[in-house]
Structure 1
Amino acid sequence: MINVAIIGAGAIAPAHIKAYQLFDDRCKIVAICDIFPEKAEKMAANFNLDVEIYSDYKEMLKISDIHLVSVCTPPYTHAELAIACLYTGKHVVVEKPMASSLEECDAMNLAQKSSGKILSIISQNRFTNPMMKLKSVLDTKLMGPIVHTQVDSFWWRGHCYYDLWWRGTWEKEGGGCTLNHAVHHIDIFHWMNGMPSEVTAVATNTSHDNAEVEDLSVAICRYPNGSLAQITSSVVHHGEEQQLIFQGKNARVSVPWKVKASKSKPNGFPEKDEELEAKLHEVYEQVNDLEFEGHTAQIEDVLSAIKGKRKVLVDGIEGRKTVELITAIYQSASSGQTVKLPLNENSPLYTRDGVLNNAVHFYEKKKHIENFTENSITLGSKYE
């Protein structure tokens, strides 16, 4: 039996708890830790959990029979908590984003390598049927080389969203919508299309004058072969319509699923390539549905990896790539210059201090509340 601890009893923790409870023949939640212990106690009661409650994670980690820890805390704490867990012999699942800086990501990966334990970064959108099917279609290369990618990470959050004590600051949240919302789609983007060679970006805050961070950014990515990609990150889009579109030389596919293929008439104008569309659609339909999706599927992936059945799909290396691309967007938007990838310690935003000193502060945070009474959240599109 794999004994599990949860650090952080906020809005995302229930997604982890529900997933673990589905595999009660393989794991058991034995502890919940939160700096507000009353929140941990309430969460334990809500899920009928017989667990130990802690307000100090260091005390909790002294328990030798904890095997796996879910880190469900604000981004600025991820590195400290994950590293401590790894070096005390625990496997770790960390909520997105991996950390607030590339330096922290590198330290986390070093701790993973040194400890030999599993480190997995939550990227639950990879573990959905539409995404797995689209990845299989792209892997066939039937579309030809990708020439353009469109990533629309559209979310909407009200003004009071940033009143929560840790949100809306570079120090604690680490960034705005690009880091904390579009992280899902940026992860999918580089998983499916690889990392670009350069990024040019702009960012702004249009609707949340109680936050230092951006609520809208637009980035253009360039690949060595000339392919371009545009990534829009937003918490000001009503309807929260989210999509990824891949334009190949031969065809176009997307999530939500849509396929279009064109071939040239003698005069250069397009006509429908029905044969290629049918092939692509057949590939999409032939991919078996996942047994589980979202957080549940990723938790199952980690539990299986602990038992040696597979390697985790999203490890710290993959998690770092996502933070690297987001850091490049922030660096370009703050400096007004195109940023070359890969990024290392020479980036002015490599460290948390570098982010604090160099990222644009749009407004001052005006309000700090400890907790919302309404704790329900949305996790994004189902891509159907």
Structure 2
Amino acid sequence: MLNVAIIGTGAICPSHVKGYLNFPSKCKIVALCDIYPEKAQKVKEEFHLDVNIYDHYQDLLEKEDVDLISICTPPYTHAEIAVGSLNAGKHVLVEKPMASSLEECDLMNEAAARNQKLLSVVAQNRFTTPMMNLKNVLDTKLIGTILHTQVDSFWWRGHSYYDLWWRGTWEKEGGGCTLNHAVHHIDIFQWMRGIPTEVTAVTSNTAHDNAEVEDISIAIARYPDGSLAQITSSVVHHGEEQQLIFQGEKARVSVPWKVKASLSKENGFPEDNNELEQKLTEVFEHQADLEFEGHPGQINNVIDAINGKSQLLVDGLQGRQTLELITAIYQSANMKQTVTLPLTKKSPFYTREGILSSVHHFYEKGKSVENFTSNNITTGGNY
């Protein structure tokens, strides 16, 4: 039985609480921590938890017998809390994005390795049946060489979204929709497709003049074989449709699931390849549905990995790789140049200080509220 603590009791915290409560024979939540202890108290009461409440994570580390810590705080705090928790001998599950910079990611991974503890980064959309099935389809190579990938991470957030005290600033949120929303799909993209070698990007703020950061970005990625990918990140798209499309030599597949395969007529025009479409559909539908999806699915994987019963699907190296691609998008857009991957420590965007001194402020943050009355949020992934 693992003892679990959750640090940060804001909007994403209930997803972690519900996740852990799925496994009462494997774990128990014993502590909550928030700089606003009244928020932690509200979570305690809402879920009828028998927990201790702390207003500083260091007090929790000193006083609680904890095996696993979920970090659900703003991004700029992730590295400090994660490193402190790992150094205290705790396993860590940290919300996305992993950290504010690649330097911080490296410090977190070094702490995990040094203390021989697991570090996992939340990527709950990997833990869905459609995503696992699509990954299986791609692994068969039946669609041939991938020629083009389309990533649409479309979300919608009202103007007041950025009124929350830590949102909408480079210093505390670390970026806009590319980092804090599209991170889900960029993670899946690099998991399925791998990291490109070049990125060219533009960013803009079209509807949120209370935020320093972007509310839309468009990036073009290039691979050594010449294939391309386009990644659109947005919080201005009504409907929040999200999709990943892989165009191969022989067929197109995507989530939400759609398949199309073509053969060439004598004149080069297409005709349907129904046989391949049927085969790809059978592969997609062959796998059994996951028993646990989203946060519960990832939490179950983390617990089983701690207990030596499974491999960790999303570790700190995977989390860093996702942030590296996002960092390349920001570097390209702000420096107005094509960026070559992998990024090195010489990159002006490797450190948090380098990022803060290099990024463009679209607007200056004005209104700032401590908390919203509602914690109801949308987390995407409706595939």
**Per the shorter chain, which TM-score range?**
over 0.9
The residue aligned with 1:290 is 290
Which runs of structure 2 are paired with 1:293-312 in the superposition (5 Å)? 293-312=293-312
Q: Find the aligned partners of 1:333 and 1:183 in 2 and give their Cα distance.
A: 17
Q: Find the aligned partners of 2:15 and 2:220 in 1 and give their Cα distance.
A: 33
Does structure 2 retain, via aligned residues, the 8 Å contact 1:241–1:381?
A: no
Q: Find the aligned partners of 1:10 and 1:176 in 2 and give their Cα distance.
A: 18
Q: Find the aligned partners of 2:102 and 2:11 in 1 and give their Cα distance.
A: 25
Does structure 1 retain, via aligned residues, the 8 Å contact 2:126–2:294?
A: yes
Does structure 1 retain, via aligned residues, the 8 Å contact 2:129–2:290?
A: yes
The residue aligned with 2:364 is 364
The residue aligned with 1:38 is 38
1:247-291 deviation digits (Å, cap 9, x = unpaired): 000000000000000000111110001111111011001011111
Which runs of structure 2 are paired with 1:198-277 in the superposition (5 Å)? 198-277=198-277
Does structure 2 retain, via aligned residues, the 8 Å contact 1:33–1:53?
A: yes
The residue aligned with 1:103 is 103
Which runs of structure 2 are paired with 1:106-125 in the superposition (5 Å)? 106-125=106-125
Q: Find the aligned partners of 1:247 and 1:63 in 2 and give their Cα distance.
A: 53
SS of corresponding position for 1:61: helix
The residue aligned with 2:7 is 7
Does structure 1 retain, via aligned residues, the 8 Å contact 2:125–2:381?
A: no
The residue aligned with 2:144 is 144
Q: Find the aligned partners of 2:113 and 2:221 in 1 and give their Cα distance.
A: 31
Q: Give how far 1:360 is off.
A: 1.1
Q: Find the aligned partners of 1:23 and 1:79 in 2 and give their Cα distance.
A: 27
Does structure 2 retain, via aligned residues, the 8 Å contact 1:44–1:50?
A: yes
Q: Find the aligned partners of 1:90 and 1:63 in 2 and give their Cα distance.
A: 13
Q: Give how far 1:310 is off.
A: 1.5
The residue aligned with 1:153 is 153
Q: Find the aligned partners of 1:330 and 1:130 in 2 and give their Cα distance.
A: 29
Call closer, same or farther: CA 1:349–1:242 in 2, change over 3 Å: same
Residue 278 in 1 paired to residue 278 in 2?
A: yes
One-letter identity of the residue aligned with 1:275:
E
The residue aligned with 2:336 is 336
One-letter identity of the residue aligned with 2:87:
Y
Residue 327 in 1 paired to residue 339 in 2?
A: no
One-letter identity of the residue aligned with 1:196:
P
Q: Give how far 1:381 is off.
A: 3.3
SS of corresponding position for 1:62: helix
SS of corresponding position for 1:275: helix
Q: Find the aligned partners of 1:156 and 1:341 in 2 and give their Cα distance.
A: 30
Q: Give how far 1:311 is off.
A: 1.9
Q: Give how far 1:359 is off.
A: 1.2
One-letter identity of the residue aligned with 2:69:
V
Residue 315 in 1 paired to residue 315 in 2?
A: yes
How many residues align structurally? 383
1:54-81 deviation digits (Å, cap 9, x = unpaired): 0011010013520000000000000000
Q: Find the aligned partners of 2:278 and 2:56 in 1 and give their Cα distance.
A: 57
The residue aligned with 1:91 is 91
Does structure 2 retain, via aligned residues, the 8 Å contact 1:168–1:213?
A: yes
Gaps of 5+ in 1: none
One-letter identity of the residue aligned with 1:95:
E
Q: Find the aligned partners of 2:17 and 2:292 in 1 and give their Cα distance.
A: 15
One-letter identity of the residue aligned with 2:201:
A
Runs of 4+ residues deviating >2 angstroms: none
Does structure 2 retain, via aligned residues, the 8 Å contact 1:200–1:329?
A: yes
Residue 196 in 1 paired to residue 191 in 2?
A: no
One-letter identity of the residue aligned with 1:346:
K
1:152-183 deviation digits (Å, cap 9, x = unpaired): 00000000000000000000000000000000
Q: Find the aligned partners of 2:134 and 2:381 in 1 and give their Cα distance.
A: 15
The residue aligned with 2:66 is 66
Q: Give how far 1:195 is off.
A: 0.3
The residue aligned with 1:131 is 131
1:95-138 deviation digits (Å, cap 9, x = unpaired): 00000100000100000100100100000000000000000000
SS of corresponding position for 1:199: strand
One-letter identity of the residue aligned with 2:304:
S
Residue 184 in 1 paired to residue 190 in 2?
A: no
Pairwise CA RMSD of aligned residues?
A: 0.6
One-letter identity of the residue aligned with 1:252:
R
Q: Give how far 1:329 is off.
A: 0.2
Q: Find the aligned partners of 2:64 and 2:343 in 1 and give their Cα distance.
A: 38
The residue aligned with 2:347 is 347
TM-score (norm 2): 0.99
One-letter identity of the residue aligned with 1:318:
Q
Residue 376 in 1 paired to residue 344 in 2?
A: no
1:35-64 deviation digits (Å, cap 9, x = unpaired): 001111111011101111000110100135
SS of corresponding position for 1:92: strand
Gaps of 5+ in 2: none
Q: Find the aligned partners of 2:92 and 2:63 in 1 and give their Cα distance.
A: 15
SS of corresponding position for 2:62: coil
Q: Find the aligned partners of 2:374 and 2:85 in 1 and give their Cα distance.
A: 30
One-letter identity of the residue aligned with 1:99:
A
